[in-house]
Chains A and B, each alone.
Chain A
């Protein structure tokens, strides 16, 4: 029997943090026996935001996402809005901007307040209306007190993509666009979870992005070559994956990174890098250089894309690396390893 290194014998929080540990678990375990990608199927092995299944002449996108968040209600959103947006956005990142329908499974802890559940459902309903979709099937389970922390939601969704967009399409020269400010969700939740009293300016950005992405695809067409939503692990993890899969380096300009002053201040206070903090209402787009301006203007014309920016460019050098030009010098941008932990000094 091969000895596992200490700390690998059990699952740790890092295995769910969206970084290398999680990818390792998916690749070595979950996807290991499910690798038979075929011309009409792009599945788990691709580690994209969702699967692509050919149905007749069209591509059906299928994705699923489980949601746990503490607290369940946070500034700017709640677990219901998160669950709908998460799945709608994963579909949109593959090019399916008109979801056909969602499933929603609810797992509750005995004793969960009915009133809170009603608020969550109202939020699910409102977010579905915003995204132009419906929950069409679901499931309910209740577990004993202490067997679960409050509520877990799982959503899945399907939609057709006229032109599937993958996360591996970057080429040297492509521009990297982000649809708005970075780090809002992660810092808002962290500040509320730990009662940091950092003021009400920290609000989650959680939102369904399918309308915004539809506008970008309409403006850019074939020139939009890669998309990913920078959720857990933040922009750093998402760009690392896109750079590695595309075989390019990414050079970011720090001066162009849109970060709200309150988020910047809170991140500095906690010793966190906004590039590594989760977003729930933002997308990264890789766009051919000649279309970058056009797509950026289309994003900025949409209410959810007003703060969109071109933040970087793909280079042939250092494939897989993400480099930040700070204006002082350049450094590598690392992926967060495990849960984000604040520094002590």
Chain B
């Protein structure tokens, strides 16, 4: 049976529906929890988050993949309550957003220990919650090049992905050559890796989209909605039309290799967030834009449901 780990237990891949493959319930850099400027009460957190997930569900959204790393405010018990109350499947991750978000205990750990950490969270559960991770998050630290710690995390993720069968999501697809080399060395097929944030305003022209796809990798156009049309766009914003055209041209060159998402925060934990940007951009803007560009309903369904289901399905 094809199945996927969600925070409420395994579900059949056929049940996932429309998938937002790279999102955040709430993201904060480690240490932000000490700075009261970002604090919100639990009441405020639920009030900001539940309506967005309910709208996602109403729009036809089935599954929300949370890519918040171990030290970035990941809170699986909270996700379980959100999933149970909204009907949205939530997939949690193990792993780290980048070496620069791994706290000293993990920064000092060996590849073997990190592999054991990831494998345990996938096969046994996260903390005492019993919820199993469904994806592994890795990423490139700020600065544009993979650090030694980034590479150690990628290698551990590759080993855990081979053993436990879940896919890998990357934060950034720049400096992809060392990443691809590590995945190859560890025997992880590259269609088990989504090289993410290949579309954002800072990194799209530094990312070798075609090369990654030619190696067999999947490419994440997963910052949809961070666009210069916003009232107060972030530094990684990009004009809407540029991103859309970029996706369409990539899809025509490399069919089946793109996945899309919005990388939005329902309720950011350690930064202001971006006003007006939610996961529901997928329904409110992206799907209409794709339809207007001439994509068939079948093609849209493939991009948002079939391909992500294939990607998320545990393979071992």
Whether both chains belong to one complex is answered with no
